[in-house]
Structure formats: structure tokens, C-alpha cells
Amino acid sequence: MIGVAGIDCIRKLMRFAHPCLRGGRHVYHYRWYSGKSRTEIVEAEMTRIRNIGIMAHIDAGKTTTTERMLYYTGFTRALGDVDDGDTVMDYMSQERQRGITIQSAAISFNWKNHRINLIDTPGHVDFTVEVERSLRVLDGAVAVFDASAGVEAQTLTVWRQADRYSIPRIAFLNKMDKTGASLEYSINSIRDKLKTVPLVLHLPIGIEKTFNGMVDLVSMEKLAWTLGPGNDGSVYQTTLLQDVDDAQLQERALEERAILIEQLAELDDKMADLLLSGDGTCDLGSIPAEEVHMALQRVTQAQTGVPVLCGSSLKNKGVQPLLDAIIRYLPDPQDKGKELEQLYEDSLCAYAFKITHHKQRGPLTFLRIYSGTITPQSTIYNVSRDCTERVNRLLLVFADEYREMSSMSAGNIAMVVGLKQTYTGDTLVSSPSAVVSAKKVRGRLQEEGQSISVMGDEDAPVLAGLDVPEPVFFCTIEAPSMSKQQELDAALVNLQKEDPSLHVKIDPETGQTVLSGMGELHLEIIHDRILKEYNLETHLGPLQVAYRETVGGTAQETVTVDRVLGAQKHHAVVTVSVQPEEADGPTRDVAVYFGLDRRKVNKDVLTAVKTGIASSCTQGPLLGYPVVGAKVTVESIEVGPGTSLAMVSACAAQATQKVLKKSGGKILEPMMVLEITTDESHMRSVLADLSQRRGRVTEVQSRAETRVVKAEAPLAELMGYSTAIRTVTSGQATFTMELFSYEEMTSLDQNRLLKKMTTFNVEGS
């Protein structure tokens, strides 16, 4: 990924871009372009733009595939290698060191007269919010699979996310050169696990070490990567299959093509008509390639099937056909922008999907433009934050340069310098009056019976916000000295603008700053970034699990407050009852009901009571964790004349605390679902380790020597799991983990936790 967050990286970006060899490794430099460039970058017309992302399980080869794309499209002049830590896309230093892809950014390049805007997406489960925000702005995606592993856990997660955003996909079976690679296994796994129809477009020639190319089943050509200059895969031979002296290959290809055409005929009416036209004895082999391409495009975009291509990015095979498939089958940006164009017509509507910070230039904001045009030196309006922002500079991250643009229009991905108050997920338009007219248009369309699905908010026509999962871990963070606290606060504000899954709050009791996030790695990375990007050596407190509290049963409590403050007498009596909320599992928020006639109570008093209850529920009575899965009913309210609303609120809060305690509060702990892939010889150690962690094994799948263990375990027992699993399996196993529910602890475990936490608090105080 082209990370522009780090100052190191920016320095490199501002230098002239060319790959050079240093100490045997390729190092890429980028320049912050101003002035004339070697080539003129024209704005691509909408039908020739593809906004795409690449999604995959960790290590499937997303970065390597992206690097090859950049190389073959002329972006880079030497091949990067993730194993050497010198790829363009994994730019941030943390990514380089850890060998994983963390953040997403956009990078544009041209392929066969089309503009491809590539939005990189991370593969680690701690960064699913990064994946979500990329998916928001994509029109299509390439799913990269390790052909020896088929569909892996993280791919399933990202696939489900892509389903939610209705993103057409094509599949790339990478690593066909690897031992254990299997087209058949991967296809079955795509069909079974992803519940989609895989449409095989390539018949591999050779497998594992002998993998050398493929038959393109649409054009019926043999594509062979022979050793070209520098063995970089840029040259490959295309031969019509009929001219290839291999009758067996021809026969198999004809059979596979027939299967493909039949599948298409089932999914696509036009292909079915074509087959049935004439005397109904249509020769499947004679259907023209162009007709098959068109059918594949329709089926991909309708998301009824997924074209499957194969290759080996590391061995430089199969990437150019993948680029061809992107421009052939994945959609242009028109569809996604349709609804917004209806609302905003020719005026600007854009979505901020990524923000990075640059010390001198301030925030750099990546925008997907849905309608209208954006120009530099203009003023725009942030609907989500109700403020005006100034566009100082408008840039396109094109190949190895940041190019100044005089304007950018709908369908494009722009980078803007100057937006100071914008957060990731905000909607930007031309002016407040544009919002007023968009609202009017929306009202009219709704009256006509048309629903506007892109909108998240009833009041303002903004794009729906991000679906940010609940943080599961938290820890305190301390500035190196009191004098640096302000700098730390500013750094945290910037980081939150970039990363909506990072939560920052001040502990009301200790006054300490508390960070919460998606996992151990997430918080570690934040810590690293504060050091590297803001030069602040902070101290992180011990990592703690974000528990929840809930009620044990039904209870009722009445609290009376009688106070005299100055000359004013305050009198309030509030009775509340609680009971477990009968929803599917614990819900996030506590539901408040009124068991009294609300018309007889002053509106402000009702609001004060609700506020008191809500504030009380943010800190449960057992350990101070938020209360969930409870129904609180206000049974009665009595308020004396002249009593302040603050007093009413306090009375309701006290009653809620008391009733929560009385109900026999329970602690809920986050349960994670784990998928561990290991070899047979380490199975015993993996299972033994899991049972020590209160883990439950739910399924074990076998494939040759590989075992995939699915298990559930409490997060509290999984601290440092990545190191532990590495140790017990001598580095052989990989795993993913994801939050799936909050569960009640057994009373034994709860008592242990309460003892530990109260001792900890006493010691810590």
C-alpha cells in the first residue's frame, strides 16, 4: 500500500521517483509533484474507470499480486518483494517490519486505456474496519486465494462484508506453483464455503513446480510464460489452442468451455437465448469469445456468479489476464453513484474514506466522488460535522507521483489537502444549500415510492456511516511527561480521525487516558505510530479485556432524594425495575421503558430520568463495565416543586445502580471464534493448549497433512496467543480470531475475576 502517514514515507514520496538498487534491495521513491511531468494525466471518462480492491486471507498473496500489477502497468520499474520488505503498497514502516498490510489507500494506474483506482485492503482481522471503509468506495473487488488452501477464515469474513455492500467480485487462485495447489479443491471450497457459482475461466497448464500458464477458456488460447527478459513475466506467448499440438489439452479445454457456457446459460438469459437460437443444436465451442465476455460481465455484475482465474504472482504468471478481467467484468462507477446523482445532480457529493496525517501538510483526505466536481482552492461543506472546509490542493495518486489536478469529477478517487475537521466516514458536498435541495429531492422521490438506500440518516442526506465493531481490549496510555500531554492528546485526535475503530476516553475516576481497540495488535500499532509519527514515547498500561455487565434477574428499587440547597428544597422519588432483555443475546444498549402514564409527567423530567438511567448503565455495579442486555422500567416518578432536573437525574441514576446490584449482576465476557490451521504433528499440542484456555473445539477439518481447528474461547485467555501458538507448533500454525458474542461467565470464573480485579484495583490505587 502507498502509506502516506509516516514522515519517513513522506520524505521518500517527495523525492524523485525511481527504483534504485541499494544493498541488493530495491527501494522506491515517490515525488510530491508540482509542475510539469513526463506525461499528462487526463481525467478518465466514467466508463473507463474501475475502482477496485483486493481482498484476501493473510498471506494469500495480495501484496505480491498488487506489486505485479503495478509493475506490468508501468508503475514501477522493478519488482518488489514482500519477503524483502520493499514493496510499494506496504509502505508504512510497521507494515514492513511485520510483513502484513495494515491500512488502505488508493493508487491509480492505467491499463489498456482504462484507469484503475486500486484501494488496498488489509488481511488481518484486527483491521476489519479498514476493510469496511474500503468496501464502501469500491465498485468491484478481486478476491485472492492461496490455491493450496482454498477459502480461508478471513476471506470468509471479507466475502460476507463484500456481500453486504453488494460488490461484484472476481476470484484469483494464486500460488498455483505451490506444493498442494489444486484447482479442483479451491473451486469446491469457493462453491461450498462462499455459496457462489465459480465460473472457471482458466485451465492451468502444469501444477505446483511445473505450473507454466493456462488455457483461456473464453478465447481458447494457450497462455505460456516462457523465460522472458529478466524472467519478469512481462512477456508471455499466446497461441490459438487449435494450433497447439496437444490433443488431450484441446479435448479437456473444450469440455471445460462447454461447462462454462452451460453455467452461463443458466445464469444469464441472453446466453440462454443464444444457445437456443437457430435450430437449437448450437455448438458450445463456436460461441464467440465476445459473447462469452459479455455474459461474464453481466453475471459478475449481477453477482450471480464469480469468474475464477489462476496464476502465480510470485512466479510472475497470470497477472496480465487478471488485469484484463478487471476491466472486462468489473463495473464502472456509474451504478454506485446513481442514487446520489439523483439527489445532488451536478453538485458535489463525496465520501471521505481515508485520512492520513502529514506533519507539514496536515490531514490528507482520500475522497470517493459520487457526483459533481471538486476543484482546488474551493470551499466545501461537511454534512456529517456541519462545518465548512477548504480544499487547498487536489491530487491524484497516480503511479509514482502525487499529481496536482485542476478538477476531478464523479467516479474518481481524489486526495485533498486542507480538510481540517473531516473524519473518516464523513460526507462532503458543495454547500449547505445543496443539502437542502437534496433533502427536497429525496422527499419527492420517496413520495413517488422510491427508496434511497445509500442514505444512513433520516435528517441529513449523508452516506451511511461505518459499521464499527465494539472494541474488545483497552489499556491506559501515558504521555512521557506532563508537558507532553497536550501533544499526545493532539496525536490521539488525529489517529481517531483516521481510524474509527480506535476509541479514546478519560477514566472519570483516575483521570487517565484510556485507549480501546480491536485487538492486541491494533493497540500495539497505535503505540508504535505515536512513537514514529509523533515522536512521543508513551507508556501503555496492561492490556485489559472489555467485559460487559448484565442483570441477574428481576428486581425493583425506590430511591428518595431530599436536599436543601440554599433556599431551595429538592425532593424526588424514583422507582425503577429491571429484568433481563429478551432479545437474541445481549444487546448493546439498555432499553428504557415507562410503566407509568407519560402524559402526566413533564417532558423535561422524563428526559432527566432517562439521562440518569443511561449514565448509570455506562458503569455497572460489579466492575464498572457498561451494562447490556437489560430492560429498565421506570415505575413511578415524584418530583417536588422547584426541584432541579440535575437532582431528578441523580435520583434516577442512584435507583438504577441500586436495582442493578439487587438483581444480582453478572459479568459477560467476550468470546472469540478461532480458526487454527496446523499440521497433523502439532494437533495434540494445539488442542491441549486450547483446553487450558477454556476453549471449546467445534469442528476439525482435515486435508492431507493439514488440520483446521475451529474453536471458541474467552478473549481473556487469549492474550499473547499469537506468540503461544508459534511456540507450541514451532511456528507451523496460523490462526484468525474474531469476536462472536458476549457470554455469561460461570459463577466460579466470575468470582475469580472479581477477586482478581478488586485485588488489582486495591494494589493499583
Q: List interacting residues with ligand GTP (CB under 6 A).
A: 56, 58-64, 82-83, 100-101, 123, 174-175, 177-178, 312-315
Distance of closest approach, residue 656 Cβ to ligand GTP, in angstroms: 45
CB 188 within 8 A of CB 176: no
| Choice between 121 and 616, CB closer to ligand GTP | 121
For residue 428, give the 3-state DSSP assignment: strand
Residue nearest to ligand GTP (CB): 123
User: Which residues make beta-bridge pairs with 679?
Assistant: 706
Gap between the Cα atoms of 286 and 585, Å rounded? 56
- In terms of phi and psi (left: phi > 0; alpha: psi -120 to 50; beta: otherwise), the region of 700 is beta
Distance of closest approach, residue 521 Cβ to ligand GTP, in angstroms: 11
| Choice between 315 and 662, CB closer to ligand GTP | 315
Q: What is the DSSP letter of 458?
A: S
| Choice between 178 and 570, CB closer to ligand GTP | 178
Distance of closest approach, residue 175 Cβ to ligand GTP, in angstroms: 4
Gap between the Cα atoms of 271 and 649, Å rounded? 67
Distance of closest approach, residue 400 Cβ to ligand GTP, in angstroms: 20
Match 434477574 to its residue by C-alpha cell.
Answer: 553
Match 470468509 to its residue by C-alpha cell.
Answer: 156
Cα dihedral 597/602/608/611 (nearest 10): 40
| Choice between 81 and 749, CB closer to ligand GTP | 81
Distance of closest approach, residue 155 Cβ to ligand GTP, in angstroms: 10
How far the first Cα of the chain sits from its last, in Å, is: 44
Gap between the Cα atoms of 261 and 300, Å rounded? 14
| Choice between 391 and 521, CB closer to ligand GTP | 521
Around 288, how many Cα atoms within 13 Å sit in the side-chain half-sphere?
A: 4
Q: What is the DSSP letter of 229?
A: G
**Residues constituting the chain:** 765
Gap between the Cα atoms of 234 and 57, Å rounded? 26
| Choice between 223 and 454, CB closer to ligand GTP | 223
Maximum distance among all Cα pairs of the chain, rounded to whole angstroms: 105
Assigned C-alpha cell, 706: 493439514
| Choice between 123 and 665, CB closer to ligand GTP | 123
Backbone dihedral angles phi then psi of residue 623, each to the nearest 5 degrees: -130, 10
| Choice between 119 and 463, CB closer to ligand GTP | 119
Gap between the Cα atoms of 144 and 206, Å rounded? 20
| Choice between 85 and 640, CB closer to ligand GTP | 85
Distance of closest approach, residue 305 Cβ to ligand GTP, in angstroms: 24
Assigned C-alpha cell, 574: 424514583
Distance of closest approach, residue 83 Cβ to ligand GTP, in angstroms: 5
Distance of closest approach, residue 311 Cβ to ligand GTP, in angstroms: 7
Distance of closest approach, residue 66 Cβ to ligand GTP, in angstroms: 7
Give the closest residue to 373 by CA, choosing from 401, 399, 404, 349: 349
| Choice between 170 and 352, CB closer to ligand GTP | 170
Distance of closest approach, residue 181 Cβ to ligand GTP, in angstroms: 8
Gap between the Cα atoms of 2 and 416, Å rounded? 16
CB 372 within 8 A of CB 391: no
